[in-house]
């Protein structure tokens, strides 16, 4: 009888998992010899599969796309104003950031971010305790979604964010050879799937890797399986989530690539906010420490590749008020929890052999999208922030005077309703239109005057990362105006 490990070796080598901690390496090797993986490994031709892997396309420059477009289209007009003697900086910045004038020439507008909520159904029933996704019927089929992608991808392919509900319940329509992800990748789009990971079988993990999926955002809120099961409202669910993550790690190893990279979405509630250091320690124990194929001394840059970067998402929705962290918990989070997590991260880098002067802070690496207060400039001190956060207002002090990014992104719900962004897709003010009746860019153009009114009350749930991009666009516009004003002196 051939030993299972030996059979894997015959098929192209026992996965070595060289960049994992020993305990997790052994766990992954044991899983790859299990009844779930072994028949699949026996069945597929790994060499053929490796040759068929599509590399994920590069992500567009979301950070600078809006300001670049606005400066290109409004710049000549603003410089003329300066030549005519206008020196009011705020007036000039407002003119430079005016989407209405920028799109008036009818030229192609870039869409750099396209969110697709492909279903509001979910495989988790009962739902997670904090789930605040209002249900909607699915009215778009695969052909409709593909048509949207085709429209969005010209002239430049956007970053495509597939979410739900749980997108993977749509099966091959999402991950098949003729599904949404493969189609978007062929158009040149970097694609991310937001998932609870529980449906990621070995076969699906291999398939998603083969078709060039760039990233998975997996929901994981804490390291304690008992508490996590409580948050997911079902005993044993945490194990299913972790099994999905491990299947992805095995698939990547078998195919010798680093995609899809895994990020963690952690919803911050009163029950897990102070548990972050334990979650980070757990993630560091199971993460691939550096990219496949990297050898020699570990550098800070290698170690901080994005694997298991984590996104802290303060619990949203009025119905979840009971789950919000208190003022005291928020204060404790910033005074003790975050520094404790930082210490764990520094120790991890030291233990990996990264030189002291090459070690990076958590806020600039795995935690870059994590700390709601530290990641964005707020027009308030920490005490005031904690008071507002306890009331469910996380971003009020971080919103820019005007939204610059919404003009070059779109978020589509399963019934075809188009919103400016993910924040609006949850609270659902009047949509821009419906993609079953008009094109993506037509809907944006038809509503472009409304951008001058943003931020509105519906912007209270703006994603933190969007606040960062908006702030960066605002400063790029101001910098440009200052440069031109300086040149005019």
Q: Across the strands, what pairs with 218? A: 195, 264
Taking CB under 6 A as the criterion, the residue among 19, 103, 166, 206 binding ligand SF4 is 166
User: Taking the CA atoms of the chain, what radius of gyration do you get in angstroms?
Assistant: 23
Task: Choose between 130 and 330: whose C-beta lies nearer to ligand SF4.
Answer: 130
Task: Choose between 199 and 327: whose C-beta lies nearer to ligand SF4.
Answer: 199
* Other beta carbons within 10 Å of 445: 19
Do the Cβ atoms of 345 and 302 come closer than 8 Å?
Answer: no
Residues 6+ apart with CB under 8 A from 209: 53, 248, 251, 252, 255, 257, 259, 260
Do the Cβ atoms of 89 and 42 come closer than 8 Å?
Answer: no
Question: How many whole angstroms separate alpha carbon 310 and alpha carbon 130?
Answer: 18
Q: Which of residues 355-394 bind ligand SF4 (CB under 6 A)?
A: none
Taking CB under 6 A as the criterion, the residue among 65, 78, 111, 128 binding ligand SF4 is 128
Task: Choose between 157 and 164: whose C-beta lies nearer to ligand SF4.
Answer: 164
Q: Are strands 409-412 and 417-419 parallel, antiparallel or unpaired?
A: antiparallel
Stretch that binds ligand SF4, among 29-37, 94-102, 120-128, 281-289 (CB under 6 A): 120-128
Q: How far is the CB of 162 from ligand SF4 (least distance, A)?
A: 13
- The dihedral sign for the CA sequence 53, 214, 351, 250: negative
Taking CB under 6 A as the criterion, the residue among 131, 274, 327, 340 binding ligand SF4 is 131
Q: Is residue 414 part of the contact set for ligand SF4 (CB under 6 A)?
A: no
Stretch that binds ligand SF4, among 124-132, 167-175, 356-364, 380-388 (CB under 6 A): 124-132
Q: Is residue 111 part of the contact set for ligand SF4 (CB under 6 A)?
A: no
Do the Cβ atoms of 61 and 69 come closer than 8 Å?
Answer: no
Annotate each residue in 427-466 with x if it binds ligand SF4 (CB under 6 A) or - if it does not, as one string: ---------------------------xx---x--x---x
Annotate each residue in 201-240 with x if it binds ligand SF4 (CB under 6 A) or - if it does not, as one string: ------------------x---------------------
Q: Is residue 133 part of the contact set for ligand SF4 (CB under 6 A)?
A: yes
Q: Which of 197, 260, 272 has its CA nearest to residue 228?
A: 272
Q: Is residue 164 part of the contact set for ligand SF4 (CB under 6 A)?
A: yes
Q: Is residue 420 part of the contact set for ligand SF4 (CB under 6 A)?
A: yes
Task: Choose between 196 and 209: whose C-beta lies nearer to ligand SF4.
Answer: 196
Q: Is residue 412 part of the contact set for ligand SF4 (CB under 6 A)?
A: no
Q: Is residue 403 part of the contact set for ligand SF4 (CB under 6 A)?
A: yes
Q: How far is the CB of 451 from ligand SF4 (least distance, A)?
A: 8
Q: How far is CA 399 from CA 26, 393, 395, 465, in A?
A: 46, 11, 6, 11
Do the Cβ atoms of 47 and 12 come closer than 8 Å?
Answer: yes
Count of residues touching ligand SF4 (by CB under 6 A): 24
Question: How many whole angstroms separate alpha carbon 407 and alpha carbon 480?
Answer: 20
Q: Across the strands, what pairs with 265? A: 219, 311
Residue 150 is inside which H or E element, if any? helix 142-152
Taking CB under 6 A as the criterion, the residue among 17, 37, 99, 124 binding ligand SF4 is 124
Q: How far is the CB of 395 from ligand SF4 (least distance, A)?
A: 8
Stretch that binds ligand SF4, among 77-85, 125-133, 247-255, 472-480 (CB under 6 A): 125-133
* Other beta carbons within 10 Å of 321: 11
Do the Cβ atoms of 240 and 198 come closer than 8 Å?
Answer: yes
Task: Choose between 32 and 265: whose C-beta lies nearer to ligand SF4.
Answer: 265
Q: Is residue 200 part of the contact set for ligand SF4 (CB under 6 A)?
A: no
Q: Is residue 197 part of the contact set for ligand SF4 (CB under 6 A)?
A: no
Residue 218 is inside which H or E element, if any? strand 215-219
Q: What is the DSSP letter of 191?
A: E
Binding site for ligand SF4 (CB under 6 A): 122, 124, 127-128, 131, 133, 164-166, 196, 219, 399, 403, 405-406, 420-421, 423-424, 454-455, 459, 462, 466
């Amino acid at each position: 009888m051939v030993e299972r490990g030996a059979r894997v070796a015959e098929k192209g080598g026992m996965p070595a998992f060289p960049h994992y901690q020993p305990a997790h390496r052994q766990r992954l090797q044991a899983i790859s010899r299990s009844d779930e993986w072994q028949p699949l490994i026996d069945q597929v031709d790994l060499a053929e599969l490796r040759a068929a892997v599509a590399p994920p396309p590069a992500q567009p420059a979301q950070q600078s796309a809006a300001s670049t477009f606005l400066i290109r289209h409004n710049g000549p007009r603003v410089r003329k104003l300066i030549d005519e003697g206008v020196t009011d900086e705020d007036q000039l910045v407002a003119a430079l950031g005016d989407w209405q004038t920028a799109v008036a020439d009818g030229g192609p507008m870039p869409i750099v971010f396209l969110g697709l909520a492909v279903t509001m159904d979910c495989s988790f029933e009962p739902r997670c305790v904090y789930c605040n996704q209002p249900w909607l019927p699915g009215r778009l089929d695969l052909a409709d979604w593909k048509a949207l992608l085709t429209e969005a991808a010209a002239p430049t392919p956007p970053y495509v964010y597939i979410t739900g509900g749980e997108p993977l319940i749509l099966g091959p329509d999402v991950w098949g050879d003729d599904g949404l992800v493969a189609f978007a990748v062929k158009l040149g789009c970097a694609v991310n799937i937001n998932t609870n990971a529980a449906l990621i079988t070995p076969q699906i993990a291999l398939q998603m890797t083969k078709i060039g999926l760039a990233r998975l955002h997996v929901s994981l809120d804490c390291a304690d399986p008992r508490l996590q099961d409580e948050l997911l409202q079902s005993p044993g669910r945490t194990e299913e989530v972790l099994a999905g993550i491990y299947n992805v790690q095995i698939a990547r190893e078998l195919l010798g690539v680093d995609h899809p990279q895994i990020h963690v979405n952690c919803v911050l509630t009163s029950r897990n906010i102070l548990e972050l250091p334990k979650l980070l320690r757990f993630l560091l124990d199971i993460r691939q420490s550096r990219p496949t194929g990297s050898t020699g001394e570990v550098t800070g840059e290698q170690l901080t590749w994005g694997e298991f970067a984590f996104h802290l998402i303060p619990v949203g929705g009025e119905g979840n008020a009971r789950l919000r962290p208190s003022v005291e918990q928020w204060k404790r989070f910033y005074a003790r929890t975050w520094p404790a997590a930082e210490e764990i991260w520094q120790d991890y880098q030291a233990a990996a052999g990264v030189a002291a002067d090459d070690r990076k802070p958590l806020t600039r690496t795995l935690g870059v999208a994590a700390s709601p207060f530290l990641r964005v400039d707020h027009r308030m001190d920490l005490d005031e922030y904690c008071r507002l956060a306890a009331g469910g207002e996380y971003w009020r002090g971080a919103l820019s005077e005007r939204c610059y990014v919404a003009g070059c992104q779109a978020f589509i719900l399963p019934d075809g309703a188009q919103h400016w962004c993910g924040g609006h897709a949850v609270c659902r003010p009047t949509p821009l239109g419906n993609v079953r009746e008009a094109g993506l860019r037509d809907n944006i153009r038809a509503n472009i005057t409304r951008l001058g009114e943003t931020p509105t009350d519906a912007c209270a749930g703006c994603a933190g990362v969007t606040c960062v991009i908006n702030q960066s666009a605002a400063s790029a516009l101001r910098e440009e105006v200052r440069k031109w004003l300086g040149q005019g002196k």
